[in-house]
Chains A and B, each alone.
Chain A
Amino acid sequence: MREAGGVLTKPPGLACRRISHTFDSRRGPIQALDGISFGVRPHEFVCVVGPSGCGKTTLLKIVAGLLRPTAGTIEFGLNGQSWTPENGRAWPRNALVFQEHGVFPWMTVADNVAFGLEMRGVGRGERRSRARAFLDRVGLAAFADNYPPELSVGMRQRVGIARAFVADVPILLMDEPFGSLDAQTKLLLQEELLRIWREDRKLVLFVTHDLEEAVRLGDRVLVMTGRPGRVREEIPVAVPRPRSGVRDPRHVAEIAWHIWQLLRDEARRSFSAPS
C-alpha cells in the first residue's frame, strides 16, 4: 500500500525541498535546519521525532507559513493546486496546534473552537452550530460556555485540537500537543485524536519527542538528527489501524526501540552540547 521512498516525485500533499533555516542570535548565526526534504500525502499522518533543539518547531512554523525559510521551497499540492513560495499565491490554510496555552483565555470554549471560522468570515450562527457539533463529538459540549482558565490543562489542549479541526483546513500541524500532559491523559487524547482523524482525514504533521507516541500515531516517522536538523531516516509504521497501545504494545515498542537506536547518539550529543 505504501511504497518506500519516491514520495517526493508523486503528487504530494506537501513537499519540503532542501529547507534550511538559520537564526541570528547574539552569539552569531545558529543553523537550525540543514536541507530538510520530505513529502507527506494528502491524508497521511506523519510524526517527526528528534533530539531536543533539532529544529522541529522551526520546521513546523515554516510549513505553517509563520516563518520564512532561509533556503529551500515548500510545495503544497492540494486539490490539484500547487503552491510554492515563489508563485506568490496565498499560503494554504493550515492549523497549528501549539504545545500549550495556545487557547485564548478570554474566549469561551465555543468561541475558541470557532476561531478559525470567525477569521474566515463565517457568520455567527453557522460558526456556533459547527463548533457545538464538534464539541458534542468529543464530549466537550457541557463546557462550551466555560472559559479556558476554568479547565484543566488536558481539556484546554482538547479545545486547541478541536479548534484546529473545526477550522476546516486540509493541513494540521501539531507541535508536541500532548507534551505537558500526564501519561494517562496523554493516552486518552491520543485515542481521541486518532478517532477524530479517522473520521476527518487531514494531512497531519505531528512533532513529538515521545518515540512511542510517534509510533502509535503515525503512518510514518521522520527521525531527525541533532542541530542542525536533517532527516536521518524515514520509518514506515506497518501496524494496522485502529491501533491501541494496550492491545498490541510489543510491535509499537519494537519500532520505538529501533528509532531510539538511531537517535541515541544524536540525543547524547545534544544532551551535552551548550543550548
Chain B
Amino acid sequence: MAHLATAERRGSQELLRPELTRQGRKRHARGSARVWVPALVGVVALSLWEGAARLGLVPSLYMPAPSEIAEALWTSIVRGELGSNLWATLTRVVPGLVMGAVPGLLLGVAMGRSRSVRRVVDPLIAAVHPIPKIALLPLLMIVFGIGEASRIAVVAIAAFFPMLINAMAGVRRISPLYFEVARNYGASPRKMFTRVVLPGSLPMVLSGLRLSANVAFLVTIAVEIVAADTGLGSLIWLSWEVLRVELLYAVLVVISLFGVTLNLGLGGLAAWLAPWQATADEAG
C-alpha cells in the first residue's frame, strides 16, 4: 500500500496546474518586459512629439510641446487651480457612485434571485436604460434645482444601471449546481445568501462597480462641461474659451491619471475581495 501512497502523492503534484510549477514562475519573471516596453514606448513617443513641436512640424495651436504642457500642469498645480477642481470633481463622482451603485447592487441581487421582481422591474429598466443619462440633466435641474443635487443625481442614475445589470447577471449566472450542493448540505436561507449568492456573484458585481465608476466619472466630466463652473470638466471648457491649449492638455493628463488610478484601485479591491478570481484570470 505504501508504494501506492507515494505514487498518489507524486501524482497529486503533477495534477497541479503548470502556472504553479517552477517553469511557470520563470515565465512569470519575463513579465518585467511588461513594464519596461510600454515605458520605452512612452518615452520615445514623447521625445518625437517634443522634437516635432520644437521644429514647428506640428501646429502649436492644437499640439503644444510636451514640455509646455508639463509647465502648464505645474503652474496649475501651484496656483491651486487644479487641486480645487479635482476636488470638486471627486465630490460629484464619489457620492454619485455610492448613491447609484448601492441601490443598483441591492435591486440587481433581488432581481437575480426572484423571477417576480425581475418581471416587474425589467420593463422599467429596458425603457430607461437606453437614454443617455446626460439627457436627463435638464429634467433633473427642474426637479432638484440648479445646483449640486441635480449634478450628483444624474451621476447616480448613470452609475445605477451598470451595477444593477451586472449584479443581476452575476446572481443568475451562478451555476444551479452550487445551489444544489448547498441545499444538499442543509444550508439555511441565510447561509445560502452569504456563502453562495454573494461570493458567487461577487466577480460580476466587482466588474459592475468598475463600469459604474467609469460611467460616473464620464458623466461627471460631461455635466461639468455643460453645467458647472468647478471641476475638471469646467476647467477643460474654460481653457477652450480662453484658448489655453496647454492647460487643456494638462487637464486631459490629469483626467487620464484619475481614470488609471480609479481602475487600478478597483482592480486591487477585486483582487483582495475575490482572490480566487485573480488566479482564474491569470490562467485564462
Contacts and interface: CB of A to CB of B under 8 A. Distances in A.
Interface in A99-116: 101-102, 104-107, 115-116
Interface string A128-162: 00000000000110000001111110110010000
Contact of B276 (A65, A93, A105, A188): A105
Interface stretch (B40-48, B118-126, B196-204, B243-251): B196-204
Contact of B184 (A96, A184, A188, A192): A96
B178 interface: yes
B183 interface: yes
A115 B185 contact: yes
A64 interface: yes
B188 to A, nearest CB: 8
B148 interface: no
A191 B8 contact: yes
A226 B236 CA distance: 73
Contact of A106 (B1, B175, B202): B202
Contacts of B277: 149
Contacts of B276: 105-106, 147-150
Q: Which of B15, B19, B196, B283 has the most CB of A within 10 A?
A: B15
Interface string B169-189: 000000101101111111110
Given A148-B276, A188-B8, A167 B185 contact: yes
Nearest to A192: B8
Contacts of B27: none
A180 interface: no
B279 A66 contact: no
Interface residues of A, number: 37
Given A66-B180, A106-B199, A147-B276, A155 B15 contact: yes
B145 interface: no
Contacts of A150: 16-17, 19-20, 276, 279
Nearest to A116: B185
B186 A120 contact: yes
A130 B277 CA distance: 27
A102 B177 contact: yes
Contacts of A96: 180-181, 184
Describe A's contact surface by its main secondary structure: mixed
A98 B185 contact: no
B25 interface: no
| B interface majority secondary structure | helix
Nearest to A104: B178
Given A139-B5, A185-B15, A119 B182 contact: yes
A58 interface: no
A66 B180 CA distance: 7
B242 interface: no
B130 interface: no
Contacts of A102: 177-178, 181
Among B188, B195, B277: residue with most chain A CB under 10 A = B195
A98 B177 contact: yes
B61 interface: no
A106 B183 CA distance: 17
Contact of A64 (B12, B19, B184): B184
B177 A155 contact: no
Interface in A63-103: 64-66, 93-96, 98, 101-102
A153 to B, nearest CB: 8
Q: Which 7 pairs from chain A and chain B are nearest by CB?
A: A147-B276, A106-B199, A152-B15, A149-B280, A119-B185, A96-B184, A116-B185
11 contacts: A96-B180, A96-B181, A96-B184, A105-B276, A106-B199, A119-B182, A149-B280, A149-B283, A185-B15, A188-B8, A192-B8
Given A149-B277, A184-B11, A188-B8, 19 more contacts: A95-B184, A104-B181, A104-B195, A106-B276, A107-B199, A115-B195, A116-B185, A118-B191, A139-B8, A139-B9, A149-B276, A149-B280, A150-B16, A150-B19, A151-B16, A152-B15, A155-B15, A185-B15, A188-B11
